[in-house]
Structure 1
Amino acid sequence: MVTPERLSRLDRIDALRAVAMLWMTAYHFAFDLDHFRLIVQDFHRDPFWTWQRTAIVSLFLFTAGLSQAVALEQTRGLGQGWRRFWRRWAQVAGAALLVSAGSALMFPKTFIYFGVLHGIAVMLIVVRLTAGWGGWLWPLGALAIGARFAAPLIIAAVPALEVFNTPGLNALGFISRLPVTEDYVPLQPWLGVMWWGVAAGRWALAHRPQWLGAADAPATGLCRGLAVLGRWSLSYYLLHQPVLIGLVTAFVWLRG
């Protein structure tokens, strides 16, 4: 079992998060090119793009779960308590509000009201309260994921449950139709992915800490660069789209 004192950063979690960040950047760059009509793609129905989005969000939330497993282990020796948790949570929630405001300016009819940062803000609280449930997180995660796919059948059989499709309640993810918004990451199925990340992280810390980068030797080369990038995920998330949009806008303007 890796000791809490050695858990300040685990390079491989940060590097894995950086992979998701770079993948997301490539995806959003293609999305911006389509938005400015420099390419023509269907990001809402083409499996090439929809499956990529699913994989990117899954990787983000799984690494968020791994990080929460580490944070909970730190409570045993480094005082990673609720005060520090709420400070970080406030940063995520504040960033989510910025995303909503920015998307409302650019997409007033389809602005982001419950995207990835909004979902993470809620999931972090749920995960913090349930992380001590041990092996139960695996079936709970499967239940959260499965419920999302069962929801359309259940709602079709019980029309009164259509209420879960309305804004606000659709943040739960128990829906039969997708809302029209630029980003949508509800609790179902995504809380299940984060629960699996926590469960996997706690198992790895107990049995295979080297898998998470807990070895004595620090990361080197490409992995080290990715680990450094992964430590700035929130700032990067907020800045990457304005930078990409600015670059594409400048290109369009220069091209005349």
Structure 2
Amino acid sequence: MPPSHRLDRFERLDALRGLAMFWMAAFHFCFDLNFYRLLSPPQNFYQDPFWTLQRTAIVSLFLLCAGLSQALAHEAGQGGRRFWKRWVQIAGCALLVSAGSWFMFPRSWISFGVLHGMALMLILARVLAPLGRGLWPLALVALLLPHGVQHPVFDSRWLNWTGLVTRKPITEDFVPVLPWLGVMLLGLAAGQWLLAHRRAVLGGALPRVLAPLATLGRWPLSFYMLHQPVLIGLILLAKQLG
């Protein structure tokens, strides 16, 4: 199928992304309640597997969706202008997240969180997309490499973005290139395979009950940047009224 230069909407993918966004908002709402000491008993979001596994699943779902989206963009022949315009938005928001987290968590501010990782990994995914089937083994290498290659030189904030660290940095969010690039590449590889062999899985009709998730999933960056200020504002307002 020759690529068109139009990127159609795939509502099933939008709904999957919307699910990740809803789950993220619910997770952060619980985190905020705990931060303001409104959860009883208090929760450990940094060590309790109930919370840490949810975070891993949420980030994984976001990156898989990003990989699937890059498969669609690659097939459609998305031009560099559109890609870089979106990339600048993501990178700019990543800088805002760093600045905001520095004011709220000066000892554990976010130097390389999910948006920072997304910005760099999107460039890599765009470059690697033509590899086709070669993406599968490359994704496996990216997933496994940080488990076998680690060195203290990568533990500083200047290099921990690689993921080849011997210890996790003290930060509120950490999404290094490795192993997370492997998740995005899996999404990219799966997306290319589905478009070639099972296109209806992505492009089929969406049940009406899931339409709100699809609508939500079309605004991931705006939602990501706004949901925490809104949630925190509502919590503080409720505390004042209470």
Scaled by the length of structure 2, the TM-score of the pair is: 0.95
SS in 1 for 2:108: coil
Deviation of 1:127 (Å)? 0.6
Please name the residue that 1:46 is paired with.
48
Deviation of 1:83 (Å)? 1.0
Most deviating of 193-202 and 7-16: 7-16
Cα distance in 1 for partners of 2:93, 2:232 equals: 18
| Unmatched tracts of structure 2, length 5 or more | none
SS in 2 for 1:249: helix
Cα distance in 2 for partners of 1:163, 1:7 equals: 42
Deviation of 1:109 (Å)? 1.4
- 1:104 equivalent to 2:94? Answer no
| Unmatched tracts of structure 1, length 5 or more | 156-160
Deviation of 1:148 (Å)? 2.1
Deviation of 1:254 (Å)? 1.9
Scaled by the length of structure 1, the TM-score of the pair is: 0.90
Q: Extract structure 1 runs of 4+ deviating beyond 3 A.
A: 1-7
Preserved contact between residue 165 and residue 177 of structure 1 (Cα < 8 Å): yes
Preserved contact between residue 111 and residue 182 of structure 1 (Cα < 8 Å): yes
Q: Report how many residues are paired.
A: 240
Please name the residue that 1:57 is paired with.
59
The one of 94, 97, 100 equivalent to 2:92 is: 94
Preserved contact between residue 2 and residue 209 of structure 1 (Cα < 8 Å): no
Preserved contact between residue 137 and residue 195 of structure 1 (Cα < 8 Å): yes
The amino acid that maps onto 2:31 is F
Please name the residue that 2:9 is paired with.
9
Cα distance in 2 for partners of 1:52, 1:219 equals: 26
Describe how 1:191-230 pairs up with structure 2 within 5 A: 191-212=181-202, 214-215=203-204, 218-230=205-217
Preserved contact between residue 2 and residue 206 of structure 1 (Cα < 8 Å): no
Percent of aligned positions with the same letter in both sequences? 56
Please name the residue that 1:121 is paired with.
119
Cα distance in 1 for partners of 2:179, 2:185 equals: 10
Please name the residue that 1:134 is paired with.
132
SS in 2 for 1:38: coil
